[in-house]
C-alpha cells in the first residue's frame, strides 16, 4: 500500500526489499525497527508502517 501511494502521488523512492536484500534486516534492526515498510529521507527514518496520515505530508513537499 505504501508503494502504491508513493507511485500514485509521483513521489520517487528507492526500494530495498528485505527478502531479496537480507542485509537490510540488520540495518533496520540496528535502527530499532521491527516492522516494514520504513521510509527514510536523507537517511533519517520518518515513517514506519503504512501510515496514510504521514504519507500525505510527503505530497506537500
Q: Let me know: does 59 contact 7? Beta carbons within 8 Å.
A: no
pTM above 0.85, yes or no: no
**What pLDDT was estimated at residue 20?**
95
Q: What is the pLDDT of residue 2?
A: 94
The pLDDT, as a whole number, for residue 13 is 93
Residue-level pLDDT at 41: 86
C-alpha–C-alpha distance, residues 51 and 47, integer Å: 7
Report CA-CA distances (Å) from 19 to 10, 22, 26, 36, 50. Answer: 25, 6, 12, 11, 18
34 CB-contact burial (10 Å; exposed 0-12 / middle 13-18 / buried 19+): exposed
Residue pLDDT, tens place only, 12-59? 999 999 999 999 999 999 999 999 999 998 888 889 999 999 999 888
CA 59 – CA 28 distance, rounded (Å): 25
Amino acid at each position: 500500500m505504501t508503494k502504491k501511494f508513493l507511485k500514485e502521488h509521483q513521489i520517487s523512492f528507492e526500494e530495498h526489499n528485505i527478502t531479496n536484500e537480507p542485509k537490510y534486516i540488520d540495518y533496520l534492526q540496528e535502527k530499532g525497527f521491527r516492522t516494514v515498510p520504513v521510509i527514510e529521507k536523507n537517511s533519517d527514518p520518518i515513517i514506519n508502517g503504512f501510515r496514510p496520515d504521514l504519507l500525505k505530508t510527503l505530497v506537500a513537499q
